Every structure is written in C-alpha cells, then in structure tokens.
Copies of this chain bind each other. A is one copy, B any other.
Amino acid sequence: MTFDQKDYEIIELGKPEYDSPLNLSKVDDDNVANYVPDDERVLVNTSLRDLQESIKAGKEFLSFEKAGPREKLYFDPSKCRAGIVTCGGICPGINDVIRGVVMQLSYWYGVKSIYGFRYGYLGLLKESDLPPMILDPEIVAEIHEKGGTILGSSRGPQDVSKMVDRLMDFNINILFCIGGDGTLHGAEEITEEISRRGLKISLIGIPKTIDNDIIFLEKTFGFETAFSLAVDSIRVAHVEAKGFQNGVGLVKLMGRQSGYIAANAALASQEVNFCLIPELPFDLEGKNGLYAHLHHRLKKKQHAVIVVAEGAGQQYVSQNAVDASGNVKPGDIGLFLRDDLSRYFKGINFPINVRYLDPGYIIRGAKSLPSDSIFCTQLAQNAVHAGMAGKTGMLVGIWNNQFTHIPIKMAISKRKVLDPESMFWLNVLESTGQPMIMQNKTNPEYFD
C-alpha cells in the first residue's frame, strides 16, 4: 500500500476566523515563538539518495503538515465545548494527556466547558447512564502522578449514531479520542457520521498503543515507559536464571504484531540471549532451531534469558480468537514456551529450571516516566491547537522529532512493524548474540 500526497492532507471544518488568544509573535528574533502556518511541512523521507531519485523522476516529495498553534481559530474559545474519551487497555501516560488537554484548553484558550466521558465509548451512549465528569485544572492538577485513566476505559465499539447523538446533546465542538487501532477505527466512523450530518464537530485522535505499532508515527506515548519497566523483569529473570542450574528466565512482553517492546527491552537490559518477535519466524526444534541454540548456550554458561513478544511464534499457539475491541487475540506463546521448553529438555535428559514472568499489568498500570510525560503533554498541547483550528479526522503524531498532523484514515491503514533488516534490529542482534536466522530450511549461510 502506498500513499499520495493527497492522502496526507488534513480535513478542516471550515475557514478559521477567530484570532488566537495566545498572543504569539509574528516576527523573528524577539525571543517569542511564532504561529505555525498550515504550509509548514515535514519531509517524510530523509534519505538523500531517495530525494535525488525523486527529483530525477519528477516525483513529489511526501510531507506531513506540522502541528502547532495557528494564528486563526475555527472555534470561538469563549463558547467552545470540548469532550475527552479514553478507550482500550490502560497504558502509562493517559492521565498526562488528559491533564495536558484540560490545562491547554483552560489556561491558554480560555475554554470553560470540558467533559470527560466515562469508561470509553460506553460513556458516549446515553443509555449507559454514565454522566461525564466535569473537568477543570484543579481536578486534573495531580493526576499525572498516577497510572491508569481517571475517566475509566472500556474495550469494543459502540453504536456510532448514538455516540454522535450524545455529542450533540452536550453541544460538543471538539472531541479528543485517546485510544489505539480499534478506537481510531471508531473515531474514523464517528468523523464520517459527523460529516454526514453536516455537523461542525472536530475529532482529534491522540494515538495510544503501548506496542508502538501505529504507522506514520515515530513513537507512541507509553511505549518508552513500557520497555523501560520491562527491563526490571528481565533483570529478575536473569537473577532467577543464574540462581539455579541451567536456569532459563523467560519473559513475555507486549507486542501483538510488532516486537518493539521486546526488542528495546532486550537491548536496554543487555542481559537477553534470545529475543523473539512477531516479525521474524523461528523454528523450535532442529539443528538451527531455538532449542538447539539454547542448549548450546546452557552447556556453555548454565543459564539463559529469553524475551518473547506476545505475538511471536503464533503458528505454535494460534487459536483464531478476537478480543472485545476486535483485535486478533494471540495464543499464549509465553505459557506455551514455558511448558514446551521443559518438555523438550526433559526429553533430551538435560533438566532445566524455567522461571516465567509475565509483567503485562505491572507495566500497563504504571505511571509514565518523565520523557513520556513530556511527550504526552506535547501531544495534548498540539491536539488542542489542532482542534481549536478546526481540523478533524486527524491524529497528532511525531515524525523526524517534529509534531505532525496525520489523517486517521492513513494511520489505520496498516500496522507499523519492526524491519528485521533495519540497523535497529541489527543492534539488538549484536547485543543478544542470537543467530540472525533461527530456521532450518532457509539461508543456511547465516547459521551460527
């Protein structure tokens, strides 16, 4: 799937005509930031060679609209009413985002009515009988010091028409949707229904996926906190593995389709011998399978640490299930490996001691680390700028270290995955020392 520049364009509700109350500068060198014009754009591709080829071929240079404060607003701040909803699983940083949106709306734009819908899209149904929280700076002042979401969340879609009815009931002008792939599909449908009804409601998505698997986003909030905390479990797995003869520490980490958390945690810890990710198939048995390499390692060092992303090795555990949000539910590769490792090594009369850790909830429920707090706050600040300017159907993202606007439609078109041929994955392999390929039939030249 490829995209044209027009796919990168952001929809606007109409011409913004109100003056921004931010009082920024319009000249340079006065030590005050300037407004960001809509035609300020960030290149997608930073390869010199690709650029030169594009020029030669006369192709356009793909680019994202840059985020930031606009000089003119679509909504009159003094009358604007905003809503916030948080959906899907818990992830570090949601409260920072909620807080950032409320602070920015209140202090900088003077917005007075902010509703926090409860328990995800469920709270957007009248019949759920869940009145929204009224949010203001005092209520959110300290929420960033806790994990979770003060609004509550839920999984799964709801009736789009009823949700738009509810937005109308509350005269919402801007809805901030904090959620992942499923939520964003819902948000896209809500945007379409709003458009179908000719309403002037802006929908701004703030992407939440601990797995860091949304395309066109360099990173998502909560991800760095997640892999950082995962290191603690890897350290413990290492300690347990060394504590017993032929100890094997096995840590299952998040990552249904993308191995970013597993790979980053492995690289950060420097204590992982095998990192298994969804993007790279591996054999268990056979001369170049995982077990043979593990056996080799144990004979040499008496202990080993394995990190496995939950979506890795699905051919061994697939069960064709889906969760309430409609995402394919992976089979449990962690429990499978725990048992299958013991089975295999018992079979070859080489007893091992497996210690299995699954720190999922401990990571998801944590508060964000400082760098994620910064990121969350900046996402929130930029989401508010975009909403006030009347943009809609878009996400706030980051690309080449600059905040950008991305059409939701594009962001949900496919998942971002880790490229096994990337320098980053090579760095992981350089650190773990595992074979580049652990399959018996292919690429014999890379067998270790």
Contacts and interface: CB of A to CB of B under 8 A. Distances in A.
Interface of A: 23-25, 28-34, 36, 39-43, 46-49, 51, 55, 61, 63, 67-69, 90, 96, 99, 103-104, 107-108, 119, 122, 144-149, 152-154, 218, 224, 227-228, 231-233, 235-237, 239-240, 242-245, 264-265, 267-270, 280, 355-357, 359, 361-362, 364-366, 369-371, 373-374, 377-378, 381, 400-403, 420-427, 429-431, 433, 436-437, 442-443, 445-446
Q: Identify which of A34, A67, A377 gathers the most chain B CB atoms within 10 Å of its CB.
A: A377
B236 A426 contact: no
A402 B242 CA distance: 34
Given A357-B361, A361-B357, A47 B55 contact: no
A240 B33 contact: no
Contacts of A40: 47-49
A306 to B, nearest CB: 14
A63 to B, nearest CB: 4
Contacts of A25: 421, 446
A252 to B, nearest CB: 12
B421 A119 contact: no
B377 A431 contact: yes
Given A23-B445, A243-B149, A374-B268, A437 B46 contact: no
List the 3 closest pairs (A to B, CB-CB), nearest first: A236-B365, A268-B370, A148-B239
B244 A153 contact: yes
Contacts of A369: 228, 369
A93 to B, nearest CB: 11
Contact of A421 (B32, B245, B365): B32
Contacts of A421: 25, 28-34
19 contacts: A33-B422, A33-B429, A40-B49, A41-B48, A42-B48, A46-B400, A96-B270, A103-B430, A104-B430, A107-B433, A146-B239, A148-B239, A153-B243, A236-B361, A240-B364, A264-B371, A269-B370, A269-B373, A357-B361
Contacts of A144: 270
Contact of A39 (B49, B153, B245): B49
Nearest to A24: B426
Contact of A152 (B33, B67, B146, B242): B242
Contacts of A152: 242-245
Contacts of A154: 244-245
A266 to B, nearest CB: 10
Nearest to A41: B48
Contacts of A149: 243
Contacts of A237: 361, 365
Given A427-B378, A430-B381, A119 B245 contact: yes
A402 B47 CA distance: 10
Contacts of A270: 96, 99, 144, 373, 377
Nearest to A369: B228
Contacts of A233: 362
A319 to B, nearest CB: 18
A233 B236 CA distance: 15
Contacts of A381: 427, 430-431
Q: Identify which of A104, A237, A270 gathers the most chain B CB atoms within 10 Å of its CB.
A: A270
Given A153-B243, A359-B362, A401-B401, 7 more contacts: A31-B443, A33-B425, A40-B49, A43-B51, A67-B423, A235-B365, A378-B424
